[in-house]
Amino acid sequence: MPILRIKDFFYKRKDPFYYQIKSLLKFNPNSLEYYKRAFIHRSLNRRDINGIAINYERLEFLGDSIVSSIISSYLFKNIPDGSEGYLTQMRSKIVSRNHLNELGTELNLISFVQSNIADENHGENIHGNLFEALIGAIFLDKGYPYCKKFIFQNVIDPHVDLERLKNKIISYKSLFIEWCQKNKKDYVYNTFEDNGNESIKHFAVKLSVDEKIIAKARDTSKKKAEEKASKRAFFMFQEDILKDKEKTN
């Protein structure tokens, strides 16, 4: 082994981060810098000598594409009769923002983050963003085969059941709106700010169908509140909605 590589070998092993990331990855990382960058939040406002921002966002962009590629390949091989639209729908269920957030949370990636913001104030999506950034770092450090192995070990093998996935609902709002439109029902989401005595902004929504309020919900964003109300509405009309869905499929 060349002298420079020997020095690098021992230098890495003096860094506590080496053992932490190795334990997470289940393999020996080559360049720690990729992995360190995968956990730097933009709030630190770090820049290199050329003024280019140093944070995980570019790695997140790269990782998103790689995750999508590996999942697409898996579905293509394992659902030989699936149409393009069906495969796209199945992929969306696996790489949905909620599922990526769950994966990031499961791996406790937030514990690696360097940030000027308290963990509880980051919002849920940081977990999925970090997962994608980590995949980007693995790709740059070890290449596609290691990304594939990591995703199979942490995503596909423990979480992907194609039979169960067929019936998984990604968005209750989209499903409910589709059903309303198909059955010529008028629907309205009346959403407004509803902070109450809380310091965190909340939104409330009243969902009406044919001028009758059928569901109410409240959450920290319009999207979450409307999705929650849609889920409640779905269970009110579940039998009719699923019958229509079966006819479509």
The distance from CA 184 to its chain's CA centroid, rounded to whole angstroms, is: 33
Q: Residue 157 catalytic?
A: no
Element holding 89 (H helix, E strand): helix 84-94
In eight-state DSSP terms, residue 42 is G
- Helix (H) / strand (E) containing 33: helix 32-37
- Per DSSP, 112 falls in state G
Q: Which of 33, 57, 64, 102 is catalytic?
A: 64
Measure the N-to-C terminal CA separation of the chain; round to a whole number of Å: 60
Which residue of the set 15, 120, 132, 211 is catalytic?
A: 132
Rounded CA separation 49/122 (Å): 28
Report angle CA 202, 203, 206 to the nearest 5 degrees: 150
CA distance 165 to 79: 12
The question of whether 226 is a catalytic residue gets the answer no
d(CA 50, CA 63): 24
Q: Return the active site residues.
A: 64, 132
